[in-house]
């Protein structure tokens, strides 16, 4: 019941050292932008034993950051330009319901629009995915590929590329959480320089937002 949450909050607040809250009121300087799924089984701070102030968190279904999503891009811009985070972690998870829904051919309603980029990701990798005969393994592999897709997509944003041009070192990491044992697996797809961005997405340091006349 909701009132139980309020009661737990009072107990939690009372159990903390008052200096803990004083420090937090002075501002935040997290070192990580954490992007993960809204799934209730993958809470951000808990699975990496972080405290308030440690992670700047953005969560949505299937941990997407798409270029037409004002919400996600605003979080990314604030984290990079204002908070100056040195690390962006995309942490997906196996058995993601959003990924599963994207693999189906049923009408799920509005959410199908949100999941559509995952179908594109599947299509890009259909040769590999279609060869996986085990449905569960194919699902889990798409969970991984979806994370890699986000790492590449974030690296290609103007937000990240302009940060690199300013000399702000920021690395994007792709990780995946295993519901079965609570462990996070590093997919080894770090991107930390424009050289790793496909040429067509690169912006030159001399270009302005208005372009050349």
Catalytic residue (one of 64, 87, 93, 141): 93
Active-site annotation holds for 116: no
Cα gap 18→23, rounded to integer Å: 9
CB of 201 to Zn ion, least distance (A): 26
Between CA 8 and CA 61 the distance in angstroms is 27
Q: Which member of 30, 35, 36, 37 binds Zn ion (CB under 5 A)? A: 37
39 in contact with Zn ion (CB under 5 A):
yes
Tell me the two tokens of residue 128. 């590999």
- Round to whole Å and give the CA distance between 52 and 30: 9
User: Within 10 Å of residue 49's Cβ, how many Cβ atoms?
Assistant: 7
Q: How many angstroms separate the CA atoms of 1 and 72, rounded?
A: 31
How many residues comprise the chain? 213
**CB neighbours of residue 80 within 10 Å:** 23
Decide if 195 is catalytic: no
Segment lying near Zn ion (by CB under 5 A), choices 32-40, 116-124, 155-163, 174-182: 32-40
Minimum CB separation from Zn ion for residue 184, in Å? Answer: 14
Single out the segment in contact with Zn ion by CB under 5 A; choices: 10-18, 19-27, 34-42, 76-84.
Answer: 34-42
Q: Which stretch binds Zn ion (CB under 5 A): 8-16, 30-38, 102-110, 114-122?
A: 30-38
Based on CB atoms, which residue is closest to Zn ion, 72 or 98? Answer: 98
User: Any catalytic annotation for residue 39?
Assistant: yes
Q: Which of 41, 67, 120, 136 is catalytic?
A: 41
Q: Please pick, among 58, 87, 91, 96, the residue that the annotation labels catalytic.
A: 96
39 vs 144, beta carbon nearer Zn ion: 39
Q: Please indicate whether residue 37 is annotated as part of the active site.
A: yes
CB of 97 to Zn ion, least distance (A): 6
Q: How many CB atoms lie within 10 A of CB 24?
A: 13
Nearest approach, Cβ of residue 37 and Zn ion (Å): 3
- Tell me the site size for Zn ion, rule CB under 5 A: 4
For 43, the token pair is: 């809470």
61-120: contacts with Zn ion (CB under 5 A): 96, 98
Other Cβ atoms within 10 Å of 109 Cβ, number:
7
Torsion from C-alpha of 111, 114, 117, 119, nearest 10 degrees: 0
In 3D space, the residue among 98, 91, 149 whose CA is nearest the CA of residue 124 turns out to be: 149
* Rounded Cα gap, residues 33 and 155, in angstroms: 13
Site residues (vs Zn ion, CB under 5 A): 37, 39, 96, 98
Residues tagged active-site: 37, 39, 41, 93, 96
């Amino acid at each position: 019941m909701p009132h139980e949450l309020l009661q737990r909050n009072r107990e939690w607040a009372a159990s903390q050292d008052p200096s803990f809250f004083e420090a937090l009121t002075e501002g935040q300087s997290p070192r990580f932008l954490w992007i993960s799924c809204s799934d209730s089984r993958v809470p951000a701070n808990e699975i990496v034993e972080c405290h308030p102030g440690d992670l700047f968190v953005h969560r949505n279904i299937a941990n997407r950051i798409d270029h037409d999503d004002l919400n996600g891009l605003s979080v990314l811009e604030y984290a990079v330009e204002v908070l100056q985070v040195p690390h962006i972690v995309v942490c997906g998870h196996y058995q993601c319901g959003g990924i599963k829904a994207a693999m189906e051919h049923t009408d799920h309603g509005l959410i199908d629009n949100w999941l559509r980029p995952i179908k594109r990701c599947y299509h890009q990798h259909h040769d590999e995915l279609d060869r996986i005969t085990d449905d569960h393994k194919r699902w889990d592999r798409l969970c991984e590929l979806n994370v890699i897709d986000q790492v590449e997509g974030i690296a290609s944003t103007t937000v990240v590329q302009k940060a690199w041009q300013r000399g702000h070192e920021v690395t994007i990491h792709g990780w995946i959480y295993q519901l079965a044992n609570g462990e996070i697996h590093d997919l080894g797809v770090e991107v930390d320089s424009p050289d790793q961005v496909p040429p067509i997405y690169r912006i030159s340091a001399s270009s302005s937002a208005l372009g050349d006349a």
